[in-house]
Amino acid sequence: MPIHSIMTDSISFKDIFKSSFLENITAVSVLDMALTIALAFGIGLFIFFVYKKTYQGVMYSSSFGTTLIALTMITSQVILAVTSNVVLSLGMVGALSIVRFRTAIKEPLDIAFLFWSIAAGIILAAGMIPLAVIGSVIIGLILLFFVNKKPHKNPYIVVLSCESHEAEQVAMAFLNERVERCVVKSKSAQNGLIELNMEVRLKNDNTDFVNALSDLEGVSSAVLVSYNGEYMG
């Protein structure tokens, strides 16, 4: 093969390499990158603060809150790269389509926070900074108001074990006098032993009635448990 042909092929290869990689270094300015990352961190930190103040699950997970900050920043970087290169956007769609998330979402509200972090990163990287900042503030204030607002009294579950039907009736009458509301959720009976699971709403924060309930004749045990599940008011 002639030397001239080899040199021509080599130069062509360098030109292709430059156009596809080296020129992309200046596609996004340093100022845009720094501003996007800084704003994404600030919004992610605000989302984390709202999540911490509105969390109502059983066990708080600080790692999930940190994930919200990281997700906002990562999403903004991805969208910033995609908007600067059309070819990269097509490749990014194919690459992200194979990603699968297997972590179970335990609280329904967590889905809203995940989507909020992703949406904030996308809007921010698209250059709509006022929409990202003002929208996040409004969403955060709404969540703080509605989630922390408690127009109802906290429900409790009373687990009651009785030795006879007569003891059950006496215990139920005693309980109805001490609480504001009492609803039987489940009842099981076996060999004369009766177990009741009841949802109750207390008149106040005093729980001394459980001690008196367990001392009634025919009552084997009485347990009061805080209940945070879904229920109808």
- Name residues whose C-beta falls within 8 Å of residue 35's C-beta, 6 or more positions apart in sequence: none
Mean predicted lDDT score pLDDT of the chain: 78
Check: CB of residue 196 under 8 Å from CB of residue 159.
Answer: yes
State pLDDT tens for residues 77-94: 888 877 766 555 555 655
Co-location of 78 and 134 in the same domain: yes
The number of beta carbons lying within 10 Å of the beta carbon of residue 55 is: 18
CATH of the domain at 188: 3.30.70.260
CA 67 to chain CA centroid, Å, is: 10
pLDDT tops 90 at residue 136: yes
Does residue 231 form part of some domain? no
Over residues 5-31, the mean pLDDT reads 55
Q: Which residue has the higher pLDDT, 214 or 39?
A: 39
Q: Are residues 144 and 184 in the same domain?
A: no
Give the residue from 87, 122, 148 where a domain finishes.
Answer: 148
Question: Which of residues 112, 127, 148 is at a domain's end?
Answer: 148
184 occurs within a structural domain: yes
Confidence (pTM): 0.62
Its domain, for residue 190, covers: 155-226
More confident residue, 176 or 8: 176
Is the CB of residue 98 less than 8 Å from the CB of residue 108? no
Looking at 148, 182, 217, the residue that finishes a domain is 148
Total domains present in the chain: 2
Average pLDDT, integer, range 174-186: 85
Would you say how long the chain is, in residues? 233
- For residues 178 and 133, membership in a common domain is answered with no
